[in-house]
Every structure is written in C-alpha cells, then in structure tokens.
Chain A
Amino acid sequence: MIYFELFYTFFLIGLFTFGGGYAMIPMIEDQIVGKGWMTDAQLTDFIAISETTPGPFAINISTFVGSQTGGIFGAICSTIGVILPSFIIILLVAIILSKFLKNRFVKGALNGVKPVIVALIAVTAVTFFIKTILFSGNAIRSVPMYFDRAAFTLLFVLASFAIIYKINKKKSVNPISLLLLSAFFGIVLFY
C-alpha cells in the first residue's frame, strides 16, 4: 500500500539522518529517486523551492513527495513518518537526560560540544555570506568569483539597522521583523 510505503520510507530517512537539513539529501536521493517517486531534476528543483519557503527541509520534502505520490493522505503519512523517529528519540533523551544532566561526565561532554556548535553556526553564517555575495555557487572551484554590490549594500543596511536598534533599545531586533524587512528590501532591490 502506497501510504504505508511512504510512511516507512520517510521513517527510515528520519531515523538515519543526523544533523538534518541537507545532510539528508544523499539518503533522499537513494530512497526517493531510487523508488521512482522523483527524478534527479525534480529533486534539484525542489531544493530551490524548499529554500524559498519556510520550515525544515525534512518536513518540506516529505510533504512534497507524499502529496505528489499519494495526495493529502500521502503527505500526512510521509510527514508523520519523517518526524516520528526524532520525536520518539528526543522524548526518551529528555526523560533520561533530565536525570543525568548533573553528572559531571555528561556536563563535560556537553561543554565540549558547545564551542563546536557555535563554530558550526558561525560557519553557516560565513557560508551564506559567500553564497549570496561572493560566489553564485557555494564552492570556490566550480564558479568564478563575483561581487554582488546590491546584495552587499542590503547586508550593510540591515546590519547597521540591527546594530543601531540594539544600541538604542538595549535589546536585539525581533528576528521576524528583520526577516520581513529583508524580504521587502529584496523585492525593492532585485525585482
């Protein structure tokens, strides 16, 4: 039955992708393209759609494939499938870990991961910067370098706004307001 197959396939994808996001693309390629639910070209198209719409990539792609393959019930089955493994695992971790959080080894381990996480976020910021302002792709090798002056100007304007807001109001700008503002300027500048 197609609903069960969708559920099962996305359950596997949810269970075996660590880190989320694009880390799951190889797995999706293997399972979804392999099963003929999507072609490689469609997958590339869909990555662009997913980048333009809000929400986690995993939920976006499972809803999309489910809807294309089995309508609304297909979409529901595959989305529940992709969420369920993390839901169950995190629930178990939350129940168990709350008892162990005071343990010095657990504390030590988490203290070791904290700088790694902050570094990974910083890398994401720099990579986004390179992607939108310096290269049209995301790798040095594949694409010649360019400098997107309009994009850089917008970055400068938004950054100044965030800094001035912080100094004046003594608190950081609401991320949702900043996103709405950047979408608005995006339309003004690039449309």
Chain B
Amino acid sequence: MKKDGKFFQILILFLTFLKIGAFTFGGGYAMIPIIQKEVVEKRRWATNADILEILAISESTPGPISVNAATYIGFRVAGFWGSLFATLGLALPSFVIIFVISFFYKTFMTWRIVQAAFKGLSIGVIILLCMAVIKLKKSIPNSFLSVILFVITFVGMMLINLFSWKIPSVTLIFIGFGLLVGIVTTAITRKEKKK
C-alpha cells in the first residue's frame, strides 16, 4: 500500500482518533493533551497554535469540542472523507463501551474496582491538563492584552465554579468577550497605523 496515498492517510486519521476517543476521560478539555501528543507531536498535522485556533472555533460553534476538533483536523488533513472518518473514529469507542454498559449499568456503578481506577484517572487528568496549559501558553500572542484576558477569564470562571453559580452558556460569554476584544483591538491598531 502506498504510504502517502489518501486512503492510507484517512486510515491513519481514523485510527488516531479511535485512540483519542478511547482515552478521553472527563470529556472536553481533558482530551487536549492526547490530541497534542497524537496530532501535533506524532503526526505533525497541526501546531500548538493551530490547536488553540481549533479550540477557539470549537467553543464558538455548537457541539462537543472533541467532535468539532476531529472534524476540523480531519478536514485539514484529508478533506471531507478525512473529517468523516476522524469523527467516526472518535465516536466509536464511547459508542461501543456505553452500548455494552447500557445493559448492566446498575451493577457497573457498584463495582468498587471501577470507582478506584476512576479516582486514579481523575488525578492523572489534572496533571495532563497542567501539561496542556504549559504547552498552549507558548502559543498565546505575547502581549499585555493576553495577560489581562487570561486573568479576567481565570478569576471569573473560577468564582463561578467555586460558588456553583448557574449561568447558562457561561464559557460562550467569555469566548465572545475574547473575540470582541480581539476584533476591537485590531480595529484600533489599524487606525493608529493610518495616522
């Protein structure tokens, strides 16, 4: 089989996202470290800066972040079929696992070994998330504005989480704020340059 053939690339996409789907515990951002390892470091399909862009797009569009990321990366690598098979690969592990569990879910939850393993996993995920933050931090534009946006989001979101304030689509509000600030500063700097 030709290693650079399109069919081969689509197969690799499918298998890579199958792996990502099988090892994403905790959902959402918890899969970023694995995407970084597989997509950025191993396959070089995207850079860390691209990942941030993909996340920005995923957060501003409906649907689960991982599905969005799989579709987007799949499309960039191999067009429509790439995005289809990346998304299928991502969904397949959870589909199979949950389908099987749905028949005996009441007993599944009482298995202490599952609970113990999950407690370990949830601690591992904390470290993975910290690793992701350290890597992605390098791709943020180095400016005072970035620091301000980071601090506002971090403090605001932390307070909301700690006090369990129920604010619908709260992440979307922060994302929208970031988009807006980004556009406004671009407009202002353009005017200054014209002067």
For A172, give the chain B residue with the smallest CB separation.
B131
From 32 to 91 in chain A, residues with beta carbon under 8 angstroms from any chain B beta carbon are 45-46, 48-60, 63-64, 67-68, 72, 75, 79, 82-83, 85-87, 89-91
Chain B, interface SS category = helix
Establish whether residues A114 and B105, one from each chain, have CB atoms under 8 Å apart when the complex forms: no
Encode A116-131 as 1/0 by CB contact (under 8 A) with B: 1111111111111111
Residues of chain A at interface, number, CB under 8 A = 103
A19 to B175, CA, bound (A): 10
A93 to B137, CA, bound (A): 25
How big is the B interface, by class?
Answer: 35 or more
For B124, give the chain A residue with the smallest CB separation.
A182
Q: Could you show 9 A-B contacts with beta carbons less than 8 Å apart?
A: A55-B98, A89-B63, A110-B182, A119-B151, A120-B171, A123-B154, A128-B126, A183-B118, A183-B121
| A75 proximity list for chain B (CB < 8 A) | 95, 98-99, 102
A22 to B27, CA, bound (A): 9
From 1 to 59 in chain B, residues with beta carbon under 8 angstroms from any chain A beta carbon are 19, 21-34, 36-37, 41, 52-53, 55-59
A178 interfacial by beta-carbon distance below 8 Å: yes
| B93 proximity list for chain A (CB < 8 A) | 54-55
